[in-house]
Structure 1
Amino acid sequence: MKTSIIRYIFFFMAVQFFCTSCEKLIEVQMPDNQINTKQVFEDVQTANAALAGLYAGLWDNSPLSGDQSGKLLGSYTDDLNCYAVTATNGAYDIYINQQVDTNTAVYSYWSSAYEKIYAANSIIEGVEHSSLPSVEKNRVKGEALLVRSMLYFYLQQMFGDIPYVVSTDYQLNRILSKTSASDISARLEIDLSQAISWLVDDYRNAERIFPNRKVAQLLLAKVYMTEGKWSDAETLLKGIVQSSLYQFENDITKVFTKSEKHILWQLKPKNSGDPTKEVILYYFSNALPNNYAVSEDLMNSFSNNDLRKLNWITPVTVNGNTWYRVDKYKNRTVNNTEYSVIIRLEEVYFLLAESLVQQNMLQEAVSYINPTRVRAGLTALSNQLPKAQLIDEILSERRKEFFAEMGHRFLDLKRLGRLHTLLTVKQNWKDTHQRWPIPQNELLLNQHLNPQNAGY
């Protein structure tokens, strides 16, 4: 029965999303062996199955997938080299900073995000009109709203002004204009505050594969930090750090183990025992890399005794030439210990340190930078460092800590106004590359999305 429910939910979401990009609403007859839309949200089990379908979609293809933001934004900046040279995948053009509005990887990033946004809206609308108990209704809406907000955050960072879709009304969505990036941030503040009020701290699964209130608070803190609201971010981040739910992981070899208490949210592979998408994407041995490898610039940023370099990067030598493999996830066959980590406590520490530095609370900030340095086998920073140097240290440590994860490098450089530093290491980098082009297909379907982003 559960399989049947989930199969229907995927069918329902796919049909609903397909209608948003068609000129005519297509009528599809309900399969005889499936439940209808109203029934999905009249029962907690089936409502949870709808959410499970959304999370499975995030893992399969979205900006949160282990083979999306990490690789694309890592190679777009200076952390990864791309060796996926084909005429159709678009990834190599992103790496050499020659993306255009017909780039297939850019279009996939956009369309997969909006597909999941539409699915989240379907859940929010369905639950809102259901007779579920208020606690369950709010929890389901809160999770869906949080997922939608995270997807919008990534879309805003990559594209700037974008349509902010909040309904499943096909006729309305197909003519929506863009919302400015600043208004997107304001809307995210409202939506995430609402999600925080609906969610609770306790996880509904011990493996933390569903986000809780603390995840929503972290995302709101990230929004605040893009707006320079350092004190507001600090308050939220300290609430996470002080929570008994989390504990800093001092063992470098356990950072990507699914059962550890420093993980805030992770995505479970589609089938039991499947490897993470990251290990499939980045693995190569005894042969030239055919996807991605660590860049020389990133390798040179590590000291020789940095345990992150020794544990998370593996040299592969072929015919006297050496490449460096991203090796954070280890299980390539039967995987019972690793899920794809979306958010971990180390990010909270670094964001808190940054918010404190920006408020000139320098000594306190150092106390949140040093744990990852000490775990990596490095000496602790002095608490007498000046503000500018501490910002540099945070950026450097975040790079070495989060390479190939969730596009952190791009987001950090953008937030700190340092994307221009890529001019020295990326030969085709331009100032307009802080945004990607809106996909041509979308501009053709909806003229209200014009004008195209500058430089494309």
Structure 2
Amino acid sequence: MKKRYFYFFLVALLLASCEDLVEVDDPTNQLGTAQVFEDVQTANAALTSLYVNLRDRSVITEGSYIGIGPLLASYADDLDCYHYDQNGVVDISQNLQQETNTTIESIWKAAYQQIYYANAIIYGAQHSTALPTEDKNRLQGEAILLRSLLYYYLQQLFGDIPYTTSLDYEYNRSLGKTEASAVLEQLVSDLGDAIVLLEDDYRNAERIYPNGKVAELLLARIYLLQEEWALAQQTAESILQSPLYAFQPDILEVFHKSGSHILWQLKPKNSGDATTEATFYYFTGAAPHAYALTGDLVGSFTGDDLRKQAWMAPVSLNDDSWYRPDKYKNLAGTNTNEYSVVFRLEEVYFILAEALAKQNRLDEALPYLNATRERAGLDALASLSSEDFITELLAEKRREFFTEFGHRFFDLKRLGRLDELSAVKPNWVAHKSVWPLPQNELLLNPNLNPQNPGY
């Protein structure tokens, strides 16, 4: 490995939001990897730089044009896009993306940069002879979890993808694709390692760093993809049995940072800053500048659903009207109680409901489906057939998680119902269940061929 790639750490500390880290020239005043991991403070700083990068510019940056929340909500049927034609965002919303789409390329590049960051942290912690074992485990566990989350989203977006744990630039630049099922198997193994390495107790009371239960939640997602229903059930139950968590009964408190239903959340950069979601989706007294909720989504709520009242805001201008997402309400300078929630307990309820239903244990599954309905002021559902249960689960999860981290698209995909989008999306065709690999990446690395079918 060329030594310049070991100097990534201080570059990350100084330029946490850098966009084009492909090659880094030898610096004259930077710490090398071994030096970074001789000290807990500098090792923590290296890991913090990865969190900053994820918060500010990544697939989980919800208030960003490369965040999967808005992109996949408009790619499916929850958001209408009003962007000017910025970086191919409009094409994505219209299901017209091609291999030259610059937003898709940005997502790919940012994710693999962050995966490289994570690999370097894992390597540095593993090989440190100075750090206490507890810190080595924590650093590795968190980095493995973050890497797994990035790989999960890449695999769901692109299908077969390169998987690497290497820091060898020459090796990585010519890496071929790993088949999707093998990537998921590898993530099961990686998340098993993360669960062993991470404590369940949070290292920060505000839950801004993930713990072992966050790794379990991501693992349960993957078990659903693999149709390992019993394992998904057991993993979800392990989370629910933890005394750290409790279902939030108040609809108005779901997106407040202090809730014990929150597994992991991202803290804004400065005190008083709004969440990226609050700023990104906000408009009033004018036409939408980015996105508004679709009529199809708004129409899926009954008038007595408290989520329609609490999590959507009507906006009118002359004879036109829209609804904007209003889950996060505090704008810049006024925010004292909202962080961006990445994982919350309600998802665990849905995972458990689906896993039990797929085992034909519908009566056991119903309470987990009804929990969010009843909190929203709706009547509990009674006995359902297996097919009707999945239909209701999809509809209820849509109402609960609209605009959050691509849940709607990923749920339709996992459950084989993406073709339902053709009723409201005129350009929808089956091969668009995955996105094209970026053209520039194929040109740089022919081993990524063939392109995904249909592109």
* TM bucket, shorter chain: over 0.9
Say yes or no: does 1:10 pair with 2:21.
Answer: no
Q: Residue in 1 aligned with 2:385?
A: 386
Shift in alpha-carbon separation, 1:6–1:267, aligned structure 2, 3 A: farther
Q: 1-side partners of 2:260 and 2:390: how far apart? A: 27
The answer (yes or no) to whether the contact 2:312–2:324 under 8 Å persists in 1 is yes
Q: 1-side partners of 2:451 and 2:321: how far apart? A: 41
Q: Residue in 1 aligned with 2:285?
A: 286
Q: Residue in 2 aligned with 1:127?
A: 125
| Structure 1 residue 13, shift from structure 2 partner | 7.8
Q: Residue in 2 aligned with 1:372?
A: 372
| Structure 1 residue 17, shift from structure 2 partner | 7.3
- Quick one: which amino acid aligns to residue 420 of structure 2? T
| Structure 1 residue 9, shift from structure 2 partner | 3.6
Q: 2-side partners of 1:298 and 1:404: how far apart? A: 11
| Structure 1 residue 242, shift from structure 2 partner | 1.3
Secondary structure at the aligned position of 1:343 is classed as strand
Q: Residue in 2 aligned with 1:415?
A: 414
Shift in alpha-carbon separation, 1:9–1:18, aligned structure 2, 3 A: closer
Secondary structure at the aligned position of 2:342 is classed as strand
Q: 2-side partners of 1:449 and 1:266: how far apart? A: 34
- Quick one: which amino acid aligns to residue 373 of structure 1? R
Q: Residue in 2 aligned with 1:84?
A: 83
Q: Residue in 2 aligned with 1:58?
A: 54
| Structure 1 residue 16, shift from structure 2 partner | 12
Q: Residue in 1 aligned with 2:359?
A: 359
User: Any stretches of 5+ residues in structure 2 without a counterpart?
Assistant: 1-7
Identity of aligned residues (%): 54
Q: What is the count of residue pairs matched by the alignment?
A: 443
Q: How far does the alpha carbon of each residue in 1:376-433 deviate from its partner, in whole angstroms, 9 at most, with x for none?
A: 0101111x22111111111001000000100000110011010011111100001010
Q: Residue in 2 aligned with 1:95?
A: 93
Greater CA deviation, 432-441 or 131-140? Answer: 131-140
What do you get for the CA RMSD once the two structures are aligned?
Answer: 1.7
Greater CA deviation, 43-52 or 401-410? Answer: 43-52
Shift in alpha-carbon separation, 1:15–1:430, aligned structure 2, 3 A: closer
- Quick one: which amino acid aligns to residue 130 of structure 1? S
Q: 2-side partners of 1:12 and 1:280: how far apart? A: 24
| Structure 1 residue 6, shift from structure 2 partner | 8.4
For normalisation by structure 2, the TM-score amounts to 0.95
Greater CA deviation, 265-274 or 313-322? Answer: 265-274
Q: How far does the alpha carbon of each residue in 1:289-312 deviate from its partner, in whole angstroms, 9 at most, with x for none?
A: 010000011011000110100000
Note the 1:12-411 alignment, pairs <5 A: 18-19=21-22, 27-31=25-29, 34-67=30-63, 68-86=67-85, 88-131=86-129, 132-334=131-333, 335-382=335-382, 384-411=383-410
* Structure 1 runs of 4+ with >2 Å offset: 5-19, 34-37
The answer (yes or no) to whether the contact 2:16–2:52 under 8 Å persists in 1 is no
| Structure 1 residue 85, shift from structure 2 partner | 2.0
Q: Residue in 1 aligned with 2:3?
A: none
The answer (yes or no) to whether the contact 1:17–1:118 under 8 Å persists in 2 is no
Shift in alpha-carbon separation, 1:410–1:191, aligned structure 2, 3 A: same
Shift in alpha-carbon separation, 1:16–1:258, aligned structure 2, 3 A: closer
| Structure 1 residue 331, shift from structure 2 partner | 0.6
The answer (yes or no) to whether the contact 1:275–1:331 under 8 Å persists in 2 is yes
Q: 2-side partners of 1:276 and 1:16: how far apart? A: 21
| Structure 1 residue 37, shift from structure 2 partner | 2.5
Q: 1-side partners of 2:168 and 2:49: how far apart? A: 21
The answer (yes or no) to whether the contact 1:224–1:233 under 8 Å persists in 2 is yes
Q: 2-side partners of 1:272 and 1:129: how far apart? A: 36
